[in-house]
Structure 1
Amino acid sequence: MLGRHREREEETMEEKMQRIISWLKEIDKSEHIPEFEVDARTIDILHKIVECSEDVDRDISLLIKDVEERTTECEAETTRLQNILTEILGLNPSDVSGKANSYLEVLVECAMALETKDTSISSLFCAMADTSVALCETELKNQELEAELNKMGKILPAVLMLEQQLKEDLKKAEEQLERDKAKTDRQSRNLKFLKDKMEDFKVRISAAEEKLAELGLEQSLMHVSLVLLSQKLADTNKEIEALEKDVSAFLDLPPNPSMVQVRIEEVKQQLNTVEAELTKEISRMVVDMVEPRRSLQ
């Protein structure tokens, strides 16, 4: 086969063309050949078709020959069996009863169903044994499949419940995601609103501070200065509380009039100093706040 393919590959374009024409004449059974475009590609395609057709014809010829040989063998075997029935057993096929013919037909059908080479008892028993083994194997496989099916049937409700639970959880998660998204959008809008307001307040505060500066308001009365003064006042109050704790600690000492009197005087002086500074600072702030108002009036 390989040598034949190599020989075909070595064929020239003219030889291929000659084979194609001969094949077309054989198919058409006439001298008329269908027109086709003559080029290298068309010739190669037609040449491959010719090769496939010849291979198929060859295979068919071999198959027909094999069938004919088997037919001849069957006819010879039939003649031999008829001779045995006629000469040895003295039975004429035409004398066989209808019931016997039906039995023979059943026997033949059984042999064909079991795919035996003949209708002998050994062949039938062997085929029946093989069929029984195949049947047992099939039943065993069916039992295994049934057991597996029952096992899957027991697991299936749990799987379906789990699937339903997963669907519900997924639905809840999607709903929660929608709520979180809406909440995030609302917070984002609020944040944007607050940022815009903050920028607006900054602009308005800056404009007010500039206007107050033009009117002669001191920087000490601005918001930042007032916050610093408030912190300073809170620190001063803490110092006063610390001093009062120190004074209360001296109250528990044994009586020593001279030392106690000296310490009390020192504490009073510190308190008076702090109060004087605080009063002075508050007075200054009040004066600074009143003067711009008068100028505005």
Structure 2
Amino acid sequence: MIRGICAVLGLAVSATTVSAGCADKPEPCEIAGGTYHVVLPEAQSPPVLVFLHGHGGEGAGPISNERLVAPLLARGWAVVAPDGAIRPAGTGKRSWNFFPGWEGRDEAAFLKSVTADAVARFGLDPNRVVLGGFSAGAFMVNYLACATPDAYSAYVPVSGGFWRPQPETCKGPVRLLHTHGWSDPVVPLEGRILGAGRFQQGDIFAGLELWRSVNGCLDHKPDSYSVTGPFQRRVWASCDPGGVIEFALFPGGHMVPEGWADMMVDWYEALGGQ
């Protein structure tokens, strides 16, 4: 029996939202600076995916996504879904303060506090915490992986990279699995211009080039290619110790695709699971 709050909603990300909360409590967990939601498996000291929602969403959204949460719970993983802060400039929408120079919450500190609180409160494994996110949440994941590669045991963004100008360099090495839809119109592989030219989403392949440099990979060419279900996978593993980059492309748009959770867990376990 699964502890926590989870419901079968079908496969669409936009399926009807159900109540999420603080494990068996309907209200989200509260800490200084914000709130988060969590669902727990029956396993003791489980690994955990901390997953960041997209722009305008909230942590209850990922928790309500069956194709994300159900496979993880079935494999003994906990899922923690923090709430983004209300963005300034009167938008009234939650998102993440990822771009250098933006004002707002210190997301690195907030997410560190979320992780520490969840580990202490629910007995999660502090050595097996993976940071993932979708869309704006995935941009946040990339910037945190760039600045604090040792803060989490791996980084798994879906449908988000860097904005232009992207960082000139990052700390490293890092273990990163980037997943992206071939026909994503919201975060295209080539990037796009937003806000009448004020902002530009970056080119995903330029971001991968930066990650290869940061990780000290020996060649631009992937070390291996494979296909898992709908995912066309490219791996750079001949890199500095502790560094590996994988790019998984799927034939779809702006979404967390079906099968992603199992692929992510398989990838993580193949790295040694910590």
TM-score above 0.5:
no
Compare CA radii of gyration and give the structure with the larger one.
1
- TM-score, normalised via structure 2 length: 0.16
Give 1 or 2: higher helix fraction.
1
- TM-score, normalised via structure 1 length: 0.15
Give 1 or 2: higher strand fraction.
2
